[in-house]
Amino acid sequence: MKVTRRDLFVWGAGAAAGLVFTPVPWKLLDDVSIWTQNWPWIPQPPRGPVEVKQSFCSLCPQGCALKVKTAGGWPVGIAGTSTNPLTRGALCPLAFGAHQLNWHPQRVRTVRHNGVPSSWSDARAAFAKACSEGPVVIIDGQPGRAASTVLASFAEKHNGSYRVEMSPETRALMPFESWTGVSAFSLGYDLENAYTIVSFGAPLLDGWGVPGRFTRLWAERAAGRSDPQLRLIQIEDSLSHTASRAWKWVNIRPGSESAMAAGLARALIEEKLVSARGPMPVITISAAASQSGISESALGELARTIVARPPVLAIASNHNPEIAALNVVLGAVGAHGGVVRRSKRTGKYIPAEAQIPNARAVLIDSSVPWDFAPDSNAEIFRFVAWDGGLQKCDWLLPAAGFLEELTDIPNAPTSAVETYAIAPQLSKPQFEIQSAAQFLVSVDPTLPTVEKVIHSRCEELFHQRAGTVYGQEVTGVAKFDSAQKLEAELEKASTWVGDPPPPGELRCELREWPPTMIAESSQNWASTWNAPVLPPLATKLYRESSLREAPGRRTV
């Protein structure tokens, strides 16, 4: 029989009718939309038991306490530790994305010699050779750590020199070191007892010091109050985040902080607003006023406002002797609510100049900010977890990223009390990484390891029998019956806090008024920490909000 065109139509009609009564159309519809809900190319979070652990951030010298959520052994969430007495559960914005950094595209994954992949053994050989041929300079960004001890003692044993690249906060304290002979690393600000704080462009609410300390303090004592308990006066050339929140914003010409400080000092002395200490500033009030672009009367008015509610403390954003001198005039040095000495422990350090002549090799620890670029023809060994680019270094050595190694957390700069803590490793290293300290130990096995130094520091703390340990609960050191117990407690990311120093520890006299220095511009979260890259999320959010420009070089 012959199949006609009509048969085909009829057959098709029958098939179509039948198909509607099969699962085919309906199940396909369902499955396809389920497919769109689980597209295989869309990454999903790791499965696995979720745990909450404690550690500290070592991405900048402040060392804030972290509450870290981990899943399947990887950090998946960062928050502050509210029980910590110093950081009080607060963190800088960048910390919340820090756990992403270990997978940052700019992560240094292998040893690189002049850009080409190399090996640790080659690097070791090259460094050992360099040491035998001439002096080495070792640069540290966070002195006072166990690792620092290793670096320093290596330098000592191999006629090298150990130098420190200081944070802006510490540099602001340097003038006091030269006047009092006390290391800037054992000086701090007694913010909690100051009633008036005059900040010369220091980003007090935007990347200065430990956010949990000043930001919380300001929020509790000043925010939104017409007559605050803590008066924050911001002297700055632009309406920065800090200026916009300050009790008073004094809008001055760029770069006139020093003149302003000197002018204020003169006004204070001339108008007998302070019991005059030390020499008179050379600059006249009118000169200071015209330089900083405000009227003389306004300057005098400001001087009166400043001393109206003592104790008063002036804070510079960076190394600036005249602002330091203003503190001397105000009698803030060594006083309640002023610049205080927190410990007798730390010695002085040679600041790391960019100019490094006649060194055979320069070793730069990963704690040194990427911006620090040694101007030297020496062979440069740079430990770093992320490659910021645009920097000359012969050896690029992959260091630990975020929470990838055990380290200890010394004092935060500007802290008024001595502290010590241990930051356990919480993230498995993915590549063959080594810290500068481990590297040096492998070069010279007679050096103590980081673990050893931490151990002996704990012993020391135990034998001093002073201070308190803040963990799940608060315990005086005297309560511990063995150094091991103390160390074990600290290894759980508890914090040891020393007893506050007796007042009047610090004496400071000025012989003559210090010379003017060009004040450096202030910085913010994005520029204070030492990693050359930002968490991808931070870059994204800065780009998508009007808060601030994301620093161009720190891109995803």
Contacts of another protein in 74-93 (CB under 8 A): 74-80, 89-93
Of 89 and 331, nearer to another protein (C-beta) is: 89
Residues 352-391 binding another protein (CB under 8 A) are: none
**Quick check: 227 binds another protein (CB under 8 A)?**
no
Residue 382 beta carbon to another protein: minimum distance, rounded to whole angstroms: 23
**Quick check: 553 binds another protein (CB under 8 A)?**
no
**Quick check: 38 binds another protein (CB under 8 A)?**
yes
Residues 6+ apart with CB under 8 A from 455: 487
416-448 burial: b if 16+ Cβ within 10 Å, else e: bbbbbbbbbebbeeeeebbbbbbbbbbbeeebb
**Quick check: 422 binds another protein (CB under 8 A)?**
no
Q: How far apart are CA 210 and CA 415, in angstroms?
A: 8
- Tell me if 384 sits within 8 A of 532, measured CB to CB: yes
Residues 475-504 binding another protein (CB under 8 A) are: none
**Quick check: 253 binds another protein (CB under 8 A)?**
no
- Per CB under 8 A, the list member of 56, 162, 249, 496 interacting with another protein is 249
Of 473 and 544, nearer to another protein (C-beta) is: 544
**Quick check: 125 binds another protein (CB under 8 A)?**
no
- Between the CA of residue 58 and those of 55, 323, 507, what are the distances in Å? 10, 30, 33
DSSP 3-state of 278: coil
Nearest residue to 462 (alpha-carbon basis) of 488, 483, 479, 481: 483
Contact pattern for another protein over residues 424 through 443, marking x by CB under 8 A = ------x-------------
Residue 91 beta carbon to another protein: minimum distance, rounded to whole angstroms: 6
Q: How far apart are CA 529 and CA 13, in angstroms?
A: 72
Q: How far apart are CA 310 and CA 322, in angstroms?
A: 20
Of 481 and 544, nearer to another protein (C-beta) is: 544
Of 433 and 436, nearer to another protein (C-beta) is: 433
- Tell me if 85 sits within 8 A of 495, measured CB to CB: yes
**Quick check: 163 binds another protein (CB under 8 A)?**
no
Peptide bond into 211 cis (omega under 30): no
Residue 553 beta carbon to another protein: minimum distance, rounded to whole angstroms: 14
Residue 413 beta carbon to another protein: minimum distance, rounded to whole angstroms: 18
Residue 221 beta carbon to another protein: minimum distance, rounded to whole angstroms: 11
- Per CB under 8 A, the list member of 227, 473, 481, 549 interacting with another protein is 549
**Quick check: 452 binds another protein (CB under 8 A)?**
no
Q: Which listed range, 239-247, 281-289, 305-313, 354-362, lies at the site for another protein (CB under 8 A)?
A: 239-247
Q: Computed from CA positions of residues 44, 47, 51, 57, in that sequence, does the dihedral angle turn out positive or negative?
A: negative
Residue 495 beta carbon to another protein: minimum distance, rounded to whole angstroms: 18
- Per CB under 8 A, the list member of 41, 227, 473, 515 interacting with another protein is 41
Nearest residue to 533 (alpha-carbon basis) of 110, 206, 106, 167: 106
Of 73 and 347, nearer to another protein (C-beta) is: 73
**Quick check: 209 binds another protein (CB under 8 A)?**
no
- Per CB under 8 A, the list member of 100, 376, 438, 523 interacting with another protein is 100
DSSP 3-state of 296: helix
| Residue type at 181 in one-letter notation | G
Residue 104 beta carbon to another protein: minimum distance, rounded to whole angstroms: 7
Q: Which DSSP helix (H) or strand (E) runs through 160?
A: none
- Per CB under 8 A, the list member of 226, 275, 297, 446 interacting with another protein is 226
- Per CB under 8 A, the list member of 145, 163, 245, 457 interacting with another protein is 245
Q: Computed from CA positions of residues 348, 353, 355, 361, in that sequence, does the dihedral angle turn out positive or negative?
A: positive
- Per CB under 8 A, the list member of 33, 275, 297, 355 interacting with another protein is 33
Contact pattern for another protein over residues 507 through 546, marking x by CB under 8 A = ------------------x---------xxxxxxxxxxxx
Residue 550 beta carbon to another protein: minimum distance, rounded to whole angstroms: 10
Residue 526 beta carbon to another protein: minimum distance, rounded to whole angstroms: 10
Residue 535 beta carbon to another protein: minimum distance, rounded to whole angstroms: 8
- Per CB under 8 A, the list member of 110, 118, 251, 468 interacting with another protein is 251
Burial of 135 (0-12, 13-18, 19+ CB in 10 A): middle
| Vertex 222 angle, CA 217 and 227, to 5° | 150
- Per CB under 8 A, the list member of 2, 46, 319, 409 interacting with another protein is 46
Instruction: Sort residue 209 into left (φ over 0), alpha (ψ -120 to 50) or beta.
Output: left
CA 271 to chain centre: 40
- Between the CA of residue 149 and those of 12, 140, 302, 452, 493, what are the distances in Å? 86, 10, 46, 11, 21
- Per CB under 8 A, the list member of 17, 116, 390, 518 interacting with another protein is 17
Residue 45 beta carbon to another protein: minimum distance, rounded to whole angstroms: 4
Q: Two tokens at 73?
A: 């052994």
- Per CB under 8 A, the list member of 167, 215, 317, 522 interacting with another protein is 215
- Per CB under 8 A, the list member of 159, 178, 238, 464 interacting with another protein is 238
- Tell me if 195 sits within 8 A of 229, measured CB to CB: yes
Of 91 and 364, nearer to another protein (C-beta) is: 91
Sheet strands (E) in 448-503: 468-470, 474-476, 495-497
Of 9 and 500, nearer to another protein (C-beta) is: 9
Q: Two tokens at 170?
A: 């510490």
Residues 6+ apart with CB under 8 A from 76: 45, 46, 50, 69, 70, 99
Residues 52-71 binding another protein (CB under 8 A) are: 69, 71
With residues binned 3-state (H G I as helix, E B as strand, rest as coil), the percentages for the chain, rounded to 5, are 35, 20, 45
